[in-house]
Structures are given as C-alpha cells and as structure tokens.
Amino acid sequence: MNSLKFSEIYFTKDAENFPLSKKIFSAFKTARKIPVESPKELYFSPQNAPEKVSQSKKALFLTVKKNNFIEKCPGTKEHLCCNYFVAKNILGCPADCSYCYLQAYLNIRAITVFVNTNDFLRDFEKAATGHTLRIGTGEFSDSLFLDNVIDVNKSLIEICSRTDSLLELKTKSADVTKLLKLNHRGKTVMAWSLNPFSLAKTEEKGTSPPSERISAAAQCSANGYPVAFHFDPLIDFNGWEKAYEELIERLFAEISPKNIAWISLGALRYDPKIKPVIYSRFPDSKILCGEFVRGNDGKDRYLKYTRMKMFSKINGFLKKFDRNMKVYLCMETPEVWKHSFGKLPSDIPRLNSVFTPVPRAHVEKNFRKW
C-alpha cells in the first residue's frame, strides 16, 4: 500500500485526546474530522448498500475499546480448528480484495482503530503470557498496511520476544523495512497470503504483487524471522494447477523450507450474505462462479471433490520442496483432511504445535469468543 489517504476521520469523544488519535489527525490533515456520539451513527448494511463498503475504505473511525482485545477463533461447526487467537486493534482494511469476508462482516462505514493502545498491549501481554498461543492481528485487518501510522507492531514483537507465545503478522504488504532489525527472538512469524500472479492482479486491489511479497518474506527470513504462507483462499479457475505450481516454485526459489513456520491451505468459502456485495463491487470477478454448496456451518464452499483435489495437488507441489513442512488445512472437515493428506492433524506429530488445544480453563478465564 503505497500511499494511504482517508477522506473522513470519525471519532468518539473519549478517543479524541489519545496520543494515537492526535498522531492520526496530524498524519491525515486533509481528512474531515467528524465527531460521533456513538458507533451506531456509522452502522450500515453491506448487503443492501455495497457502495458504502468502498466508502468505508476511505474513512477511519477512532474509538476506545474497554477490553476483550484478544479472542479465540471459534472455528466452525464440524470443521477442525487450528486454535488460533485473534488480536483486534483494527477492524477493516484499506486494501480491497474481492473475496474478503470483512466486506459483509463489518457494518461500520470506516476502518475502526481502537486508539487506547496501552490497554490493547496490556491485554495482549496478558494473553501471550502463561501459555503458548499463536496470536495474529491479520484476521480483522492487514497486519502491516496501517502500521506506519498505528505503529504497534514493534511493541507486539517486543512483548512476544519475552513470552512463549508466537505472534503472527499476516499481510499482503511488502513494506517490511522497519521490522527487519527488531529483536524478535524468533517469536514473531511474518506471514503472507499468496495467490497466483494473475489472480492477485484482478482480485487483490491495493496489495503488493505476490512477487514483492515473496521478496519481502525473503528479507524477513534473512533477518531471522520464521515465515509463514497462507494459500487462502484457493480459487478454482481454468489453469489453477499450473498457476499455483508456478507460484510455489517462485516461492521456494527465494525461501528455504527450513525457515517456514507453517503453511495453510484454505479453499474459498463465504457467508452467503457476501454474494450481493461481491457482485455489486466487483462486477467483473468470476470468483463466485464455481460450484459452491452449503456446508454444515452455513458457509458456501466448493464441492468437496474440488476441494480435495486442490488440497492434495497443492500439498504435493509443496512437499516436492520439503516433506516435513507444517502444512495444514484451514476450517476443513475430518473427511477432507483424511482424503487430502491421508491423515487427521492429530495423527501428524509435526502439527502438534498448531493443533494442540490451549487448556479450556485458560481460554474460558481469559478470552471471549468472537
């Protein structure tokens, strides 16, 4: 993301005087500053007014969150969960990927930034201490796109360097310069979502090209960071096999498998509510033209035979470079796991660090499910 521009900055009264708010006001001087009494003033229904999703990428909403910055990913019914924890300091993303679930999930017409950074960091440190968790900031936003202004990653990296937990910074940005020399002690995993070059061009607006993401990963790797890659969402299109194979070859031309913390595969899935939003905002996109069927969790997924074929093929492409890489499926059924990988994650010892659940008592005491 080369240059961030926002036309409006909404803020609640209690957020106005936080140092981060002042920094944001000063960084985007031309943006109109609009006080709001309550977030409700910014609510909208993405399905009924998709054009407002586009507007929401050009506005910020500064507010204060009291607690529950860290939540356990709830997983979905009858699908295996990878025990991920999500840090929520930003809700929304300035990039514009056609398939992004946030388009229908978020109902505030601005990117929300919780400006009470110290409370967020306190919550984060509490969560990261005492148990080994994988915590990421890349579920409700991109971990890097806004960091030149928000500037929270260096604190998160520092906190994790003192704990047993792993921070995952998940992004489609290639701007990693300011992170390279930080003292991460191998506790921060720099992660990129990857899709073939042709798809990224049409479906991932406002992001760095995959070749630049891979080069950024190589830079991070050279500076000792473990790196991770998410082939998610995998998209079924004419020529997908060749396109993903080329992408993987390109990846391993620059990255050594031994520096890879994990790789996830996830086929395109969506809440049916997002369909009108995608059709309206991306009229030329064909991503919803595949054969999707409703799963037991209410989400639409490719027919399982398509998913299984994609997972086993891509796993095969990856395993050509290293048989022992930690490759896992995101939100998949036991049946699809067995068919695609021959085993369940519980039967793959190298995935223990990913799939072993955090003790329930610890989760119930410290986290809310989103």
Partner 1 sequence: MAIDFPADLKEKIENERISYGAAASIRFLGREDRTAVCEFLEDLRPSASVMKEFSEHILDISKRDGVSAAGIINAPDIKGITAADCSRKIKTEKIRKLLREKRYPSLSAKENELKTVVKQLSLPANISLIYPANFEGKKVSLTIRFENTGELTECLDEINKKRDLLREFLKIL
> Which chain residues interact with partner 1 by CB under 8 A?
44-45, 47-49, 78, 276, 279-280, 283, 286, 288-289, 291, 293-296, 303-306, 333, 335
Q: How far is the CB of 84 from partner 1 (least distance, A)?
A: 23
Q: How far is the CB of 331 from partner 1 (least distance, A)?
A: 13
In this complex, which beta carbon is closest to partner 1, that of residue 114 or of residue 240? 240
- Cα angle 135, 123, 180; round to 5: 50
In this complex, which beta carbon is closest to partner 1, that of residue 58 or of residue 275? 275
Q: How far is the CB of 293 from partner 1 (least distance, A)?
A: 4
In this complex, which beta carbon is closest to partner 1, that of residue 190 or of residue 235? 235
- Cα angle 104, 68, 147; round to 5: 65
DSSP labels, 78-94: TSB---EEEE-SEE--S
DSSP labels, 131-194: S--EEES-SSS-TTTTHHHH--HHHHHHHHHTSS-EEEEEES----GGGTTS--TT-EEEEEE-
In this complex, which beta carbon is closest to partner 1, that of residue 279 or of residue 370? 279
Q: How far is the CB of 286 from partner 1 (least distance, A)?
A: 6
Give the start-end residues of each E strand in 251-316: 260-267, 269-270, 292-294, 300-302
Q: How far is the CB of 280 from partner 1 (least distance, A)?
A: 7
Return the closest-CA partner of residue 160 out of 172, 173, 169.
Answer: 169
In this complex, which beta carbon is closest to partner 1, that of residue 138 or of residue 295? 295
Sequence-distant (6+) residues with CB within 8 A of 146 are 4, 90, 94, 111, 113
Q: How far is the CB of 219 from partner 1 (least distance, A)?
A: 39
In this complex, which beta carbon is closest to partner 1, that of residue 57 or of residue 301? 301
